[in-house]
Amino acid sequence: MARDISPIMHTDQSLPVLSNRERRVLAAVCDTLLPCLSVPDDPHDFYATGAALVGTAERVEQLIGTIRAPADRRQLRLLLSALDSRLVNLALSGRFARFTDLGREARETVLAGWSDSRIALRRAGFQALKRLTHVAYLAWPVDGGSHPAWRVVGHPGPLPPPPNVIAALPEVPVADTASIDCEVVVIGSGAGGGVVAGVLAEAGLDVVVVERGPNPSSRDLTQIEGDMLGSLYLDGGLLMTKSGSMPILAGSCVGGGTTINYTTSFPLPEVTRSEWDRISGLSLFSSRRFTESLDRVSARLDVGTRWTTPGVRDQILERGCRALGWHVDLMPRNVTDCPEGLECGYCGYGCRHGTKNSTAKTYLPDAIARGARLVANCEVDRVLVEAGRAVGVVGNGRDEAGGVHRVTVRARAVVVAAGAIYTPVLLIRSGLSNPNIGRWLRLHPATALLGVFPERVEPWSGALQTRYSDQFADLDGGYGAKFETAPAHFALVGSAFGWDGGRRYRDDISRLGHMSLVGVLLRDRDPGQVRVSRRGLPQVHYELSDYDVAHLRRAFLASAEVLVESGATDLLTLQTPPVRVKTGAPGWRDGFREAADRVGYRRCRMSYISFHQMGSARIGADPRRSVLSELGETHEVRDLYVADGSTFPTSSGVNPMITIMAVADHVARGLAERW
């Protein structure tokens, strides 16, 4: 039954990532995207400090070396070679010369040709290099703990650590875990795995939690964006859809997504609960049992609207919606005694004050207090299956010195909560063959429109999210888009901002302190798929359908009205090339709509990001259309359960943390009752 998939291969950091020629091309690309410019009135040397002066190319090469999939690394190397092809440059710029032999203006012409190409693959290649370069340049300090880009917009950079240190959770050292026996082993410690561990330990079961990521204390949460992405996020924050059109962000640390998410705590809407029952063929999601699960997790997380003082971003969203007569409301959040000050804007890299009620603060300490054991920095290769039953897991763990140890956990049952990207990968690596595994994937694509205001906004500050609007959330049977905000630090800016020249990109960034955003979070109807490479790694195939693009476009264009009613003087899209509009100009609405439509909303035209992944191992009554039974047990293998966002029959339409936790509560209680 086992599929022929070789073990996971990690990049050997002792080997060179690029050849000397590829390295020279990369340096030229970085210098073109972020050149050293002589600009009058540049007191912070923002324009003068280009990529070449701060080692950006070297940082990009390091990032390429951390990309897990060898095929993705090879594609980037082929792209660098293609950029240095005389024939390719002849076709794109009319110059029969290598990229490295061209002057800066000619190199800009070449990159502009790639960024705006009719061929989606070329646009994707440009976006990959652009994102890596801009994040590498902006997300680390370069001079004494600061950065010219941070100074020019008034961004403080990493803040001083709080005086009180919150310790990491107690864990079993990897070196001591060659073989462990327990009743239930849980893979993952986030919204799904953390809840399962807490509920089962409370029921008196012997639980081991295996977490792929680290187990940070508050001292480890340095607020250096590049470092935090690399240590707290799935695959270092570098995971992309296969086409390169969408970055995928998810937590990969103790507490998972609940450690780094934005505290938004919506219950599953009634219309979605009914839809899920219809699609799954079950009566679970509309049942009293599931309502009780939702209520329990909300109570344990202290979900409410007490700590929802709006920062300037959310004030702008609320002001614009109210002026238009549109829906706006308080955001329910899972925080207690949240200070709601400047540092809250950094909470996407972990809460250093302990006010975010993540599973690392709630369910996991509950479980450990009742005897559960935590193994961090350990990636599970596969589930052990004997005679059609799950009997444990095997994987590799890393100790503090970087040594690798083989880990085996034997158990009576296995609960997989590795997230909607890696859960189907793990099931397939373990030999399951249900064709629904990996199908029905939804990614909740998100984008934003930026507004420039006369007053300072400082979009990196204030509580994470305190206001939302459902004005366009139900455009067709519960499908549409929500308006939310999000803190805008430099990694997000580096990844999302469009580019149409080194000077104009720098001009856009220089206005960040006066920018606010309306985030557009799409409830996607039409699914993608997670496939597995022969090296056992995920390949995420996903593109927006015509149906979903139509919904997104309608909400995106409407978001301009919110910003304008709040006083925005300029609008800036996250498209390539960006659309820039002066809102006081005659006919600006028609001009904005026509320009945005002309650039387009599809592959690598608009910047999207996925914060929520779901649906790739869905629950249902019929094994021909689902992976899991009503209790979360796989149709194929007994005693093998799933309890994370992959269980969702369709997109939730709301930030999914509370729904994931309710599913996990339901699965765990069913397992405890069965025993």
pLDDT at 4 over 50: no
CA nearest neighbour of 660 among 638, 185, 356, 668: 668
CA–CA separation, 444 vs 203, rounded Å? 35
Q: Report the pLDDT value the prediction gives residue 675, as an integer from 0 to 100.
A: 83
Q: Report the pLDDT value the prediction gives residue 174, as an integer from 0 to 100.
A: 87
Cβ neighbours around 641 below 10 Å, total: 27
Q: Compute the mean pLDDT over every residue in the chain, rounded to the nearest whole number.
A: 95
- 3-class secondary structure, 634: strand
Query: 239, exposed or middle or buried, with CB in 10 Å at 0-12, 13-18, 19+?
Result: buried
pLDDT at 624 over 70: yes
pLDDT at 89 over 90: no
In the chain, the amino acid numbered 585 is: A
pLDDT at 8 over 60: no
Average pLDDT over residues 493-504: 94
CA nearest neighbour of 461 among 566, 609, 263, 314: 314
Which tops the pLDDT comparison, 177 or 151? Answer: 151
Give the containing element (helix H, strand E) for 539: strand 538-541
CA–CA separation, 432 vs 149, rounded Å? 49
Asked whether the beta carbons of 314 and 462 are under 8 A apart, the reply is yes
pLDDT digits (tens, 9 = 90+) for 360-417: 999 999 999 999 999 999 999 999 999 999 999 999 999 988 899 999 999 999 999 9
| Dihedral angle sign, alpha carbons of residues 24, 25, 26, 29 | positive
Q: Report the pLDDT value the prediction gives residue 90, as an integer from 0 to 100.
A: 80
pLDDT at 12 over 70: no
Q: Report the pLDDT value the prediction gives residue 177, as an integer from 0 to 100.
A: 77
pLDDT at 341 over 80: no
Domains with residue ranges and CATH for the chain: 20-138 (no CATH), 174-215+253-301+357-434+620-674 (3.50.50.60)
Token reading at 592: 């904005």
Q: Report the pLDDT value the prediction gives residue 3, as an integer from 0 to 100.
A: 36
3-state DSSP: the chain helix, strand, coil percent, rounded to 5? 40, 15, 45
pLDDT at 673 over 90: yes
Q: Report the pLDDT value the prediction gives residue 521, as an integer from 0 to 100.
A: 98
pLDDT at 94 over 50: yes
Phi and psi torsions of 184, nearest 5°:
-135, 130
**Residue tagged 């009058």 (tokens):** 40
Query: 40, exposed or middle or buried, with CB in 10 Å at 0-12, 13-18, 19+?
Result: exposed
Q: Report the pLDDT value the prediction gives residue 614, as an integer from 0 to 100.
A: 98
pLDDT digits (tens, 9 = 90+) for 531-583: 999 999 999 999 999 999 999 999 999 999 999 999 999 999 999 999 999 99
Q: Report the pLDDT value the prediction gives residue 15, as an integer from 0 to 100.
A: 62
CB-based contacts of 14: which residues, under 8 Å, 6+ apart?
none
Q: Report the pLDDT value the prediction gives residue 366, as an integer from 0 to 100.
A: 98
Average pLDDT over residues 300-325: 97
pLDDT band at 183 (very low <50, low <70, confident <90, very high): very high
Average pLDDT over residues 628-655: 98
pLDDT band at 321 (very low <50, low <70, confident <90, very high): very high
pLDDT band at 178 (very low <50, low <70, confident <90, very high): confident
CA–CA separation, 178 vs 193, rounded Å? 22
pLDDT at 496 over 70: yes
pLDDT digits (tens, 9 = 90+) for 229-273: 999 999 999 999 999 999 999 999 999 999 999 999 999 999 999
HSE-up of 13 (CA within 13 Å, CB side)? 5
pLDDT digits (tens, 9 = 90+) for 424-458: 999 999 999 999 999 999 999 999 999 999 999 99
Q: Report the pLDDT value the prediction gives residue 1, as an integer from 0 to 100.
A: 35
Q: Which of 83-87, 162-166, 332-336, 612-616 has the lowest mean pLDDT?
A: 83-87
Q: Report the pLDDT value the prediction gives residue 92, as an integer from 0 to 100.
A: 67
